[in-house]
Structure formats: C-alpha cells, structure tokens
A and B are shown apart, each in its own frame.
Chain A
Amino acid sequence: MFYLDDIGRYFLMLKGVFSRMTKGSVLRNLIFKEIDDLIIGSLGITVFLAFFIGAVVAIQTALNLTNPLIPKKLIAFASRQSVILEFAPTFLSVIMAGKVGSFITSSIGTMRVTEQIDALEVMGINSLNYLVFPKVIAMFMYPFVIAIAMFVGIFGAYAAGVYGGFVSSADFLTGLREEFIPYHLTYAFMKTFLFAFLLATIPSFHGYYMKGGALEVGKASTSAFVWTTVVIIISNYVLTQLLLS
C-alpha cells in the first residue's frame, strides 16, 4: 500500500509539472542552466567511462575467443553490440542515476528544507513546474550524451583491441560494420529517452516530497538512486521484450 501511495503521488506530481507553466523568459533561462548542470556537467565522466568500458569489453571478448576458428573480427562485432544495446543506454543511465539523480534530489531537497519551495508557493508560483519541468526538458539532450558515449565506447574498444594486439585494424573495422542493424540504434535511443525522463522525474519526486533536515536530504538522495536504478532496470527489461523480441 505504501508503494502504491508513492506511485500515485508520483503521477500526481507529473500532472503538476506539466500544468500552470512558468513565465517563458524565466523558463528559458532555467532550461539553459539545467542543460549546463545536468548534461554538459555529465560529459566528462561519460566519455571517461565509455572509453574504458568499451576497451574492457573488447579485451574480455578477445580473451574468451580461444577457438582459432572464430574470426577475430567478432571482437568488434561483440563490442559494438554491447556498447550500443546495453552499455551506453542502460549502464550509463544507472551511473547517471547516481550522478544526476543525487544532484537533483539534494538540490530540490535542500530547497524544501530551507523553505525555498514554500517561498515559491507563497508567491503563487507552481513550484513543481518551476523546479522539475526545466530538468525534464534539459534531459531531452541526454540522448546526445549517450550518442557520444556509443562513439567513444567503440573507439575505446578499437584502441584496446588494435593497440593491445588482439585484432588488426582492418579486421576490427570489418567486424564493426558486419550485420549492423540500424533498428538497434532506434531501440537504444527509445530506451534513452525513457531513461532520461525517469532520471529527471524520480529524483525530483524524492527531493520534492522529502521531510526533515540535512540527514533526510542524504537519505532521499540514496533512495532516489535506488529507485531510479530499479525502475530503469525494470523498464529496460520491458522495453527489450517489447521492441526486440
């Protein structure tokens, strides 16, 4: 019953987010600020992680291909599929649930604790729209981050595979192009859009409705990370079943 209550409140929050819009000029500035905080601020860690995870996927695949009959170009094929289908959209979103999610929860939670949200409400401002809507819009840029992660991840696999002596450059490039299904990219970006929405709204929910002081802000951040991850993993399963099977 407790979870049902929370789910109900989450959807009521969404209704509040998309109603009684804030003044356009103010909203535009807020959106740019959120893009800077949530998207631009995440690029560095995303590129770093993507490169090394891509490299590790290539090395792991290479080390497991002990049968001489299996062509080495499979290293590139496996790396590409892993990075595009799961690593970039899902694995990175889980990491972003920690980075972006805890940032959102703690910033909104601190505003709740210090009565800044009450101040907005007293002024007659729809605090949900003012605080959460710009984050949702900013997160529509998230697929660009994932696209960069895909590119860098595959580059990491190339670097580790070729410069590590596991596969030749020609074989890698051949494997990379082999049996490429463009729909896999569509599937990956459809997932990414959903995850972006979840990354913006679930941590906002935990921050907005938190009660207490500084300790509770920390607890809300942890809780937001856990629930965002759980919902991402479950929706990943559902979407994969719906879109790929």
Chain B
Amino acid sequence: MTAQVGAVRAELGRHRPRFGEPAFRGLVVLASLTVLAIIAGLVVVIATTSMAGIAHNGIGFLWGTTWDPVHSVFGALPFIYGTLLTSITALILSMLIGVGVALFLVELAPSWLAGPLGFMIEMLAAIPSVVYGLWGIFVLAPWLRDYVEVPLHDTLGWLPFFSGYPIGIGNLAAVVVLTIMVLPTVAAVSRDVVSAVPGSQREAALALGATRWETIRMGVLPYARSGILGAGILGLARGVGETMAVTMVIGNSPTISLSFLAQGYTMASVIANEFTEATTNLYRSSLIEIGLLLLVVTLVINAAARLLVWRVAYTASSRSLAA
C-alpha cells in the first residue's frame, strides 16, 4: 500500500521539476507586484515629470484663477472648478436616476423586463467615450440649445445659473453627457447593493403591512445606504476622470462661471487638448501637474468608494470595472 503510493508519487515526481512550484509562485507574485508597481509608477512618473511645474507654480496653483501660458502663469482653479461643477451635478442627476433604476430592477420589474433593461444600461457603459462626444456635438448640443437652453435663458436668465448666451456647447451639455456616462456605474453598483439586502428585510416590512414603496424606503434603503453612497463615490470618480466626451462638448474655456450655459474646462480635458501643443517644458509640466492632481483625487475617491462598497457587496466592483 505505502509502496504503491510511493510509486505513484515517484511517477508523478518525474513530471515535476522541483523548482516548478517556487517558480510559478514567483511568477504570480511578480505579476501582482507589477500591479502595485504600476500604481506606484503612475504616481512617481507623473510626479517627477510635473516637478518643474510644482516648483514654479507653488501651492497657489490650486487656487490660481489665471491660465496664461504666454506669461507662464498657471492656475488650476478654473479646471478644478469645471471638473467639480460638471461631475457633481452629473452625479446628483445620475444618482437620482441610477438608484431609481436599481430599485426598479430589483424590487419592481418582472424578470422578463429586468434582464433586458439591466443589460441595456450595462451596454451604456460599453459605448466608447468618443462616440458620446460625437453624438454630443452633433445631436445633443444643438437640441439642448434650441429646446432647453433658449427657454431657460428666456425665462430664468436672471438667475446666474442660466445667464450668458446659449450656444449648446458648454457646461450643460457636459453635464448631460457625463450623467449618461456615470449612470451605468451608479446603477450597476446600486443594483448589486440593493440585491444584497436580505429578503428578510423586505418580508418583515411587508409583514407589517407596508406598501411596496414603504418596504423600499424603510426596509431596503436604510440597509443599502452605505453601499449606495459607495456607488455614488465610484460614479464621482468616473465623472471626474472622464475625458473625451466632456472635452468635445464643454467648450474649452478656462473661465469660472456659475452659468450652465457658459463654456468651461475640466482637468482631464485641458490635458487632452493642450498637452501635445504645450510649447515650453514649464507649460507641459504644469499640465502634468494637473494630471497629478487628478490622479491623486481619483485614487482617494476610488479607495474610499471601494472600501464602502466592499463592506456591502464585494462582487459589485467587478461590474463597475467594465464601466
């Protein structure tokens, strides 16, 4: 018996070089370390290439309002502002819609509808950013101008939010495009979070005679709250980092305006637009400094969101990867 086992071992051993296990182990560890190295490398490479800018611009870079490459005055505030304005507004809109969709899919929709609808919203994430930009320029912006901005301007033009001349291209178009692009992230993660709410929560509420909405409001939402918050933060990270579609419709103007009809600029889009054209090292370095800022902000937002979502529904993150 032991002899037989030994024979089998020996037989197997012939096919097994001793270094097989440590070598393979080393390989997979190396691959994992590569992921770590990439993240570290991202920060290091971008930080070192932005050193000239950091040295020249100082801390005032963060609140400088003037972006004047000719005179080497670089202030990032217009881009930070534009990024925050568009992504936070888009986040609010996509949270309203996205959480609604998630609740509809999980709590209300019959499965013949929930499947295809959920699928469609996932597909929304698959469409390349540049295609949204193309659609934004030629379809969305003119439509917004004629049917949204002009009426808004005519009726509410006295509000600072709707002042200026409506031309379609601008903050509003960027917000709408961003909302569409952030929506799948928020909806997918929220759906997973809502799905993860134990059935007993609902049953208990229903048992108390709650209506369906009351069940959602009192049984489901409180339970899913931190996960939905995580979904929102993930959506924010996506909105902040989104580049192409926004670049194509926001109007590329480094000005700070409250108006949704005005043109703006975001951190990602100024890099996309001006990087290959930067005439001096300092100019390029300052653009990379914006990239560094963007990177740090998204790393922090993402890390926070992942931690929040993980607590609720681990698998959720896989879906948002595709987003």
Do A and B interact with each other, yes or no?
no
